[in-house]
Amino acid sequence: MSEQVKHAAFIGVVCGESERVWVEEFFQLFKTPWEFFRPHVRYSVVISTGEPPDDADCKLVIVFSSTPAEQRRPVLISEGQTVFAEYEGTAFPLYGKVAGFPSWGSPLARLRDSAMAVVVEAAMTRFVVIHAGYDLFAEVALLFSAGQPAGNALIPALDIHIAMLRDWILRAGIPIVEIPPVPAGRKFIACLTHDVDFVRITDHKLDHTLLGFVRRASAGSLWRLAKREISWREFLQNITALASLPAVYLGLRQDFWFEDFDRYLELERDTKATFFFIPFKNRPGQNVRRPHSRRRAAAYDVAEQRSLIEKLARFGNEIGVHGIDAWHSPERGTEERQRIVDISGNANPGVRMHWLCFDTSSPQVLEKAGFAYDSTVGYNDAAGCRAGTFQVFRPKGATTLLELPLHIQDSALFYQGRLGLKETQAWKICESVVSNAQTYGGVLTVLWHTRSMAPERLWGGFYIRLLETLKRKRVWFATAAQAVDWFRNRRAVSFQRLDSAGRIRVTLDRQADSEKLPAISIRIHSPNRTFKDIPCTGEPVMDVCVE
């Protein structure tokens, strides 16, 4: 058995038929050698969602099950109301059924603020068993469909599940070969995006948008100045913009909302961004069961923005679809997609839905409409990880479409009626999100709307600060399609065990145009918690040996 220590973890997974799809997706995110369990094959680790097979030949067995065998003397803790557990100082939520172990094995993780163990470890005659009293793949299924409630947004639950599993394997003395969710030499990926809900203030003629602007720039600004939520300088900026309105409408002065495009071009010269344009003017969309859904319609016609779109693209920015009905209708989605293809020349645009409209069938519908990726899964009233992860994933119901989760949205942070935060509070939240991206890797997606830097929002200073913070980290700035393509290449990596020497063959089957994408690397984790990265530059097949 000792000779297994030299061999990297090759995991055999035992699970039910309905769990297989989530097991497969989980191991696209925890990209390490594994296969569905085959009898008479020797694994270093067996993961089982029920009692492990008697003939398992391995060093470590990890059971994820909320219905443990009687001899472990389990107690039922939750039948689906959220509970929090804690592992090595990190708290994480469990959304499904949870069992505890008051008197079996030694505790690895406990319920928060409680002595009750939810993950226990025990040495058996042939192997070590770790039993987690929850159903990991049911947790994955939930995170990749409904997602987490906004209150838990700051906890990357899925990324924590991956980190814990990795840690349990390493503490058993087994090295791990993994493709980390970041390019070689980077801490994480940053993806800057802008939803173009508005182009010019002059697109609006005495409508809700214009009146709202006037109210917030005048009385609203005065009120916020009195409460010291904005500075004198900001107050004057708003009043000046308000006073300039007649000249702006007469065409004597530049439209201050339109100026945001040049501001972004200047700020993002080295980073690039993705701009999502609304494909049709005056269409509020169907099935939007929210107050004031008529106001969802765009006041600009994208066909009249060709020169703007050309300019953005010429500077290396990506153009995508800010969808109206694509989330519920494949026909409408196809039409919306085609319009942006025709106008932008981007043959394969991705999508983010306006107002983040989405339901459980949307991934399938968007895929049918021909979109390669979606970036709608995020919050309108929080910042963080709705799907519990910073990684690009395949959502429920999709086969080719990938989801680029959205993490930080300006209006979610600052709008009254959303979080309505002061800048200092919003900054604390953003710092926490950035710090998690740094810890777990993946891609941090930021949405800052056009017009958000201009009066009366004036959220530009905050955005610049966020951008400067990201630039100081070891980050790869990618457009949305680049980030998704990078993950597509990572997903296409496969592993093969070369039994005789305990080596692992890593095959890169590049899906996307890799020339412009940074290298994937192979990470070898040693049980002493150090790791070594080998960048994959060139060779499509690499054999790795852990010692």
What does the binding site for Zn ion look like in residue numbers (CB under 5 A)?
Answer: 195, 197, 354
Q: What is the rounded CA–CA span in Å between residue 505 and residue 514?
A: 20
Q: Which is nearer to Zn ion, 221 or 452 (CB)?
A: 452
Helix (H, G, I), strand (E, B) or coil at 437: helix
Q: Which is nearer to Zn ion, 78 or 376 (CB)?
A: 376
Residue 282: left (phi > 0), alpha (psi -120 to 50), or beta?
left
Q: Which is nearer to Zn ion, 288 or 478 (CB)?
A: 288
Shortest distance in whole angstroms from residue 521 CB to Zn ion: 36
Shortest distance in whole angstroms from residue 14 CB to Zn ion: 45
Q: Give the closest residue to 409 by CA, choosing from 362, 373, 457.
A: 457
Can you spell out the DSSP letters for 192-217? EEEEES-S-GGG-SSSHHHHHHHHII
Both tokens of 285, joined, read: 């969309």
Both tokens of 373, joined, read: 């990726």
Specify whether the CB–CB gap between 194 and 450 falls below 8 A. Answer: yes
Q: What is the rounded CA–CA span in Å between residue 298 and residue 16?
A: 47
CB-based contacts of 283: which residues, under 8 Å, 6+ apart?
297, 298, 324, 325
Shortest distance in whole angstroms from residue 355 CB to Zn ion: 6
Q: Which is nearer to Zn ion, 188 or 448 (CB)?
A: 448
Shortest distance in whole angstroms from residue 441 CB to Zn ion: 28
Shortest distance in whole angstroms from residue 287 CB to Zn ion: 16
Q: Which is nearer to Zn ion, 72 or 354 (CB)?
A: 354
Shortest distance in whole angstroms from residue 56 CB to Zn ion: 51
Q: Which is nearer to Zn ion, 197 or 403 (CB)?
A: 197
Shortest distance in whole angstroms from residue 293 CB to Zn ion: 13
Specify whether the CB–CB gap between 434 and 154 falls below 8 A. Answer: no
**Helix axes 423-440 and 460-471, enclosed angle (nearest 10):** 20
Note the Cα 171 to chain centre separation in Å: 28
DSSP3 helix / strand / coil % (the chain, rounded to 5): 35, 20, 45
Shortest distance in whole angstroms from residue 276 CB to Zn ion: 8
Scan for tokens 């500077």, then name that residue: 315
Q: Which is nearer to Zn ion, 195 or 268 (CB)?
A: 195
Can you spell out the DSSP letters for 461-484? HHHHHHHHHHHTSSEEE--HHHHH
The count of residues in the chain is: 547
Specify whether the CB–CB gap between 479 and 443 falls below 8 A. Answer: no
DSSP tag of 442: S
Shortest distance in whole angstroms from residue 295 CB to Zn ion: 11
**Distance from first CA to last CA of the chain, Å, rounded?**
17
Q: Which is nearer to Zn ion, 352 or 394 (CB)?
A: 352
Q: Which is nearer to Zn ion, 121 or 197 (CB)?
A: 197
Q: Which is nearer to Zn ion, 329 or 389 (CB)?
A: 329
Shortest distance in whole angstroms from residue 9 CB to Zn ion: 44
Calculate the CA dihedral of residues 51, 57, 59, 60 and round it to 10 degrees: -20
Strand ranges in 88-182 using DSSP code E only, listed in sequence order: 90-94, 97-100, 106-111, 117-123, 128-132, 176-178
Nearest residue to Zn ion, by Cβ distance, number only: 354
Shortest distance in whole angstroms from residue 354 CB to Zn ion: 4
Q: Which is nearer to Zn ion, 157 or 383 (CB)?
A: 383
